[in-house]
């Protein structure tokens, strides 16, 4: 059985949908604090539990024969992590530690972890390879790095193999239109731009146009959520076959500026999208683009979706948002 923590969240739910095409023995664990019950397929077993509660976690998982864990459950807003680091250390570090301890005691040897490119802070080199120095500049990234370190220590001492998948900017939605991105409040650029296209917000605020980039706005590497989901399936296979750990960046290797995102969304939606430049958002690096060679070589994985496909799938979801 594959245990998926945070399987009701944005990336977790897309992973579950993709994994269901290969296997049916999936167990989703989520406390639904930010996830959506509607995003879990009816035929998937679901436990409503909180990773912060060690006893509850242990009790709920003890009866299952778990082969591998894919751990998505976490809070993932940089701004919120600066306002409330306590919440982030409690959920992302303590919660992950609880889960890792429980699965270690259950003898699970494969653990896939949602990590982040924000570990690299303001990187010295673009594109960013896994050899880039990690230097988190906010509590969110610190919590993810701490969990990577716990996993590294546990792999050495207890023989747990882990894959730390360092995501760049997850975006887009499953083409079925059944599941997609739904955060409240929504901090991410592409959903915000599409909400503006739908008239749900008046305009998009561009956080700074005085960066050292061609049009002055920040550049990010947007990766389709189903491409990310598929990389987890490849990572599970890698852990099972190779029996060793892996740290890998997941991005497309292509960067787009905030203005390019707004222009592409205007073209795809055929709507007018108003924007206004405001101050920089604290902690935003100018450019984050992945060097994804390692993922291509080691996982045999390749992103399938380009920016147009990302934005049109997200548009398909946001026009008829189900939750
Ligand atoms: N951004 C923006 N306006 C918004 C939201 C985001 O200009 O309303 C910019 C943000 O500064 C960053 C990029 O869009 O450069 C992507 O931000 P997002 O929050 O989607 O992802 P992040 O890169 O922070 O993980």
Predicted confidence (pLDDT) at residue 51 exceeds the cutoff of 90: yes
* Nearest atom (ligand 1) to Cα of 218: 15
CA-nearest residue for atom 12, ligand 1, is 218
The catalytically annotated residue of 10, 88, 120, 140 is 140
Annotated catalytic, 140?
Answer: yes
CA–CA gap between residue 124 and residue 69 (Å, rounded): 33
CA–CA gap between residue 239 and residue 230 (Å, rounded): 14
Predicted confidence (pLDDT) at residue 135 exceeds the cutoff of 90: yes
Residue-wise pLDDT for 19-33, tens only, equals 999 999 999 999 999
Where does the chain have alpha helices with state H? 10-19, 54-61, 78-83, 85-88, 95-105, 139-158, 189-197, 225-242, 258-269, 293-294, 307-319
Q: Which of 140, 207, 212, 287 is the pocket-test mutation for ligand 1 (most atoms within 8 Å of CB)?
A: 207
Q: Mean of the pLDDT values across residues 189-203?
A: 97
What pLDDT shows up at residue 291?
98
Q: What percent of the chain has pLDDT over 70?
A: 100
Residue-wise pLDDT for 260-317, tens only, equals 999 999 999 999 999 999 999 988 999 999 999 999 999 999 999 999 999 999 999 9
Say yes or no: CB of residue 189 within 6 Å of ligand 1. Answer: yes
What pLDDT shows up at residue 147?
98
CB 170 within 8 A of CB 311: no
Predicted confidence (pLDDT) at residue 222 exceeds the cutoff of 90: yes
Run of H or E residues at 15: helix 10-19
CA-nearest residue for atom 20, ligand 1, is 188
pTM value is: 0.97
Predicted confidence (pLDDT) at residue 16 exceeds the cutoff of 90: yes
What pLDDT shows up at residue 184?
86
Q: What is the pLDDT of the chain when averaged over all its residues?
A: 97
Residue recorded with tokens 């969304």: 265
CA–CA gap between residue 97 and residue 312 (Å, rounded): 38
CB 28 within 8 A of CB 4: yes
Residue-wise pLDDT for 61-108, tens only, equals 999 999 999 999 999 999 899 999 999 999 999 999 999 999 999 999
What pLDDT shows up at residue 276?
98
What pLDDT shows up at residue 199?
96
Pick from 258, 285, 286, 288: nearest CA to 273: 258
CA–CA gap between residue 194 and residue 315 (Å, rounded): 7
Say yes or no: CB of residue 281 within 6 Å of ligand 1. Answer: yes
CA–CA gap between residue 247 and residue 277 (Å, rounded): 36
């Amino acid at each position: 059985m594959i245990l998926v923590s945070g399987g009701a969240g944005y990336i977790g739910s897309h992973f579950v949908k993709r994994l269901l095409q290969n296997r049916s023995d999936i167990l989703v664990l989520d406390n639904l604090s930010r996830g959506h019950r509607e995003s879990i397929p009816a035929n998937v077993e679901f436990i409503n539990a909180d990773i912060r509660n060690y006893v509850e976690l242990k009790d709920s998982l003890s009866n299952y024969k778990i082969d591998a864990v894919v751990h998505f459950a976490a809070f993932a807003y940089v701004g919120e992590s600066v306002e409330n680091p306590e919440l982030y250390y409690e959920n992302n570090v303590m919660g992950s530690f609880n889960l890792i301890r429980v699965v270690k005691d259950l003898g699970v040897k494969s653990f896939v972890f949602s990590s982040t490119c924000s570990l690299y802070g303001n990187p010295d080199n673009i594109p960013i390879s896994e050899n880039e120095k990690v230097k988190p500049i906010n509590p969110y990234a610190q919590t993810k790095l701490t969990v990577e370190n716990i996993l590294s220590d546990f792999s050495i001492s207890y023989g747990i193999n882990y894959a730390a998948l360092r995501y760049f900017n997850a975006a887009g939605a499953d083409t079925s239109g059944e599941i997609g991105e739904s955060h409240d409040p929504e901090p991410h650029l592409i959903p915000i731009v599409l909400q503006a296209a739908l008239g749900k917000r008046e305009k998009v605020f561009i956080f700074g146009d005085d960066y050292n980039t061609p049009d002055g706005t920040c550049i990010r590497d947007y990766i389709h959520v189903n491409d990310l989901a598929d990389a987890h399936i490849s990572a599970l296979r890698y852990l099972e076959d190779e029996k060793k750990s892996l740290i890998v960046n997941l991005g497309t290797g292509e960067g787009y500026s905030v203005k390019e995102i707004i222009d592409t969304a205007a073209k795809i939606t055929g709507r007018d999208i108003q924007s206004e430049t405001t101050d920089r958002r604290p902690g935003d690096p100018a450019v984050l683009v992945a060097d994804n060679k390692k993922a291509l070589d080691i996982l045999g994985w390749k992103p399938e979706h380009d920016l147009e496909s990302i934005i049109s799938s997200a548009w398909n979801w946001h026009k008829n948002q189900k939750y």
